[in-house]
């Protein structure tokens, strides 16, 4: 799994993640049209399930196998046309490892030529001088490279392949030499904030100023990982916000929507931040077979672009309608004063109700999901009404 979630804010203001505020706090009741009516702002697209790495956390269980019914090149072009008919989002080509697709540069170029801001999430393992040049020519404007530890051996052990760390670091250099913006994506592996500090230092040495910290959601191979406790999760988010506020770099907890509530409690304001969870509001995922889901960790299909135009899925799916209605939230999230800026992780809520499958190959249909993703986020320590909001 590479590049699954929104990139954080960036210095480039014309495209989001490249747009600083993909979804403001008034997502549900903003002036004029609701945010989703302008189409998605960000799409993560698993263009393949193939990957040379064996990452312990991989939500999509990527490896040697390709998805049965994976979109062909022509189908991929058609998807881009469908996306373009619905809006002008940033499209993150993800995987598996997207560079395993032989037609990946064609797909990226096709999207670029249709006016989409094309980005990519990669392990960096295939990014050499030649491929970095090809990415630039294909119009890739930003590339997220995964680095999970500043220590090569730790990263390689987690990713399952010796040399993965060195390739990722070299990949950063090759992209920067080509003028491609680079972001480091990090899966938070443990409770020690110094591990995060070390990655930030490493990134800064290589000219990176955008970092995204992914807090694991237990799906796919990640279902077997030892989970952080909710208190550790809360403490880490709090520590990152306090440490890196006004630090001159962009670092954002991801799939940790409570960061907006915690920032508020710490008195930290950032007008560039959107809602904590944007799944189904301004963001969705397209799976390798064309199924559209709210996010990569919430394997509830809202429809398939092979049979239903993307715009219809985005505008009319019952799954997205449920996510866009704060009145559907239940439990603590249903009565929380922070629901407009946080919203809770819908995937964790779904998992807590027994909904998450072992592998995202097992996408479920909306009837089967029964809106169980609208429950409270089990990782949140906040008690509504206990102070703050
Ligand atoms: S539902 Fe959870 S995992 Fe998905 S985008 Fe929202 S916060 Fe991230
Ligand atoms: S109760 Fe729900 S909406 Fe409120 S802060 Fe916690 S996760 Fe967010």
Please compute the mean of the pLDDT values over residues 138-151 and round it to a whole number.
95
Distance CA(12)–CA(3), nearest Å, equals: 18
Q: Above pLDDT 70, what percent of the chain?
A: 84
pLDDT digits (tens, 9 = 90+) for 123-138: 998 999 999 999 999 9
- The atom number, within ligand 1, closest to the CA of 348 reads 2
The whole-number pLDDT of residue 355 equals 61
The whole-number pLDDT of residue 172 equals 97
- Picking from 343, 346, 338, the residue whose alpha carbon sits closest to that of residue 371 is 346
Band (386; pLDDT cuts 50, 70, 90): low
Shortest-distance ligand to the CA of residue 255? 1
- The atom number, within ligand 2, closest to the CA of 382 reads 6
Angle between the 164-177 and 152-159 helix axes, to the nearest 10 degrees?
100
Residue 8 vs residue 47, higher pLDDT = 47
Asked if pLDDT for residue 10 goes beyond 80, the answer is: no
Q: Which two tokens stand for residue 143?
A: 């590339």
Please compute the mean of the pLDDT values over residues 144-157 and round it to a whole number.
93
Residue 367 vs residue 323, higher pLDDT = 323
pLDDT digits (tens, 9 = 90+) for 228-274: 889 999 999 999 999 999 888 999 899 999 999 999 999 999 888 88
The whole-number pLDDT of residue 149 equals 93
Q: 380 CB less than 6 Å from ligand 1?
A: no
- Are 7 and 18 contacting, i.e. CB atoms less than 8 angstroms apart? yes
- Are 124 and 145 contacting, i.e. CB atoms less than 8 angstroms apart? yes
DSSP 48-94: -SB-S---TT-TT--BSPPPTT---HHHHHHHHHHHHHH---EEEEE
Rounded to 5 degrees, φ, ψ at 122 are -140, 155
Shortest-distance ligand to the CA of residue 375? 2
Asked if pLDDT for residue 302 goes beyond 50, the answer is: yes
Asked if pLDDT for residue 224 goes beyond 60, the answer is: yes
The whole-number pLDDT of residue 17 equals 38
pLDDT digits (tens, 9 = 90+) for 84-118: 999 999 999 998 899 999 999 999 999 999 999 99
Residue 124 vs residue 364, higher pLDDT = 124
The whole-number pLDDT of residue 246 equals 87
Please compute the mean of the pLDDT values over residues 162-171 and round it to a whole number.
95
pLDDT digits (tens, 9 = 90+) for 42-89: 999 999 999 877 777 776 667 778 888 999 999 999 999 999 999 999
Q: What's the 369 CA to ligand 2 centre distance in angstroms?
A: 21
Q: What's the 377 CA to ligand 2 centre distance in angstroms?
A: 7
Q: Which two tokens stand for residue 30?
A: 């903003």
Asked if pLDDT for residue 12 goes beyond 60, the answer is: no
Instruction: Please name the residue whose Cα sits nearest to atom 2 of ligand 1.
Output: 345
CA atoms within 13 A on the CB side of 348: 20
CB atoms under 10 Å from CB of 91, counted, come to 27
Measured from CB, residues less than 6 Å from any atom of ligand 2 are 257-258, 261, 332-333, 336, 338-339, 342-344, 376-377, 380, 382, 384
Asked if pLDDT for residue 344 goes beyond 60, the answer is: yes
Name every residue whose Cβ is closer than 8 Å to that of residue 193 and which is 6 or more positions away in sequence: 236, 239, 240, 243
- The atom number, within ligand 1, closest to the CA of 295 reads 4
> Which ranges of 219-329 does DSSP label H, i.e. alpha helix?
230-244, 259-266, 310-316, 318-323
Please compute the mean of the pLDDT values over residues 207-232 and round it to a whole number.
81
The whole-number pLDDT of residue 365 equals 77
Please compute the mean of the pLDDT values over residues 292-310 and round it to a whole number.
94
The whole-number pLDDT of residue 358 equals 45
């Amino acid at each position: 799994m590479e590049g699954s979630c929104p990139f954080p804010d960036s210095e480039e203001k014309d495209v989001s993640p490249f747009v600083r505020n993909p979804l403001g706090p008034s997502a549900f009741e903003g002036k004029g049209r609701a945010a989703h009516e302008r189409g998605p702002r960000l799409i993560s697209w698993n263009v393949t399930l193939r990957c040379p790495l064996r990452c312990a956390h991989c939500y999509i269980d990527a490896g040697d196998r390709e998805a049965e019914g994976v979109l062909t090149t022509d189908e991929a072009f058609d998807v881009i046309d469908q996306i373009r008919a619905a809006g002008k989002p940033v499209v993150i080509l993800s995987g598996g490892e997207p560079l395993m697709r032989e037609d990946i540069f064609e797909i990226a170029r096709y999207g670029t030529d249709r006016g989409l801001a094309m980005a990519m999430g990669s392990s960096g393992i295939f990014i050499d001088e030649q491929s970095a040049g090809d990415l630039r020519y294909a119009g890739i404007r930003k590339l997220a490279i995964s680095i999970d530890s500043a220590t090569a051996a730790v990263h390689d052990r987690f990713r399952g392949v010796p040399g993965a760390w060195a390739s990722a670091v070299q990949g950063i250099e090759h992209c920067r030499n080509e003028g491609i913006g680079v972001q480091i994506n990090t899966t938070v592996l443990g409770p020690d904030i110094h591990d995060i500090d070390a990655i930030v230092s490493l990134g800064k040495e290589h000219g990176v100023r955008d970092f995204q910290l992914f807090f694991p959601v237990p799906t796919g191979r990640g279902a077997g990982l030892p989970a952080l406790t909710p208190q550790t999760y809360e403490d880490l988010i709090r520590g990152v916000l306090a440490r890196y506020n006004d630090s001159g770099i962009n670092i954002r907890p991801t799939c940790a929507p409570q960061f907006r509530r915690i920032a508020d409690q710490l008195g930290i304001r950032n007008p560039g931040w959107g809602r904590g969870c944007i799944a189904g509001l301004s963001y969705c995922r397209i799976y390798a077979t064309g199924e559209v889901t709210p996010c990569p960790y919430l394997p509830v299909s809202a429809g398939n672009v092979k049979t239903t135009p993307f715009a219809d899925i985005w505008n009319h799916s019952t799954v997205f309608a449920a996510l866009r209605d704060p009145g559907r939230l239940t439990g603590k999230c249903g009565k929380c004063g922070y629901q407009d800026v946080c919203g809770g992780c819908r995937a964790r809520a779904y998992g807590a109700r027994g909904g998450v499958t072992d592998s995202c190959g097992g996408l479920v249909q909306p009837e089967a999901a029964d809106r169980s993703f609208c429950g409270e986020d089990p990782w949140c320590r906040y008690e509504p009404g206990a102070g703050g909001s």
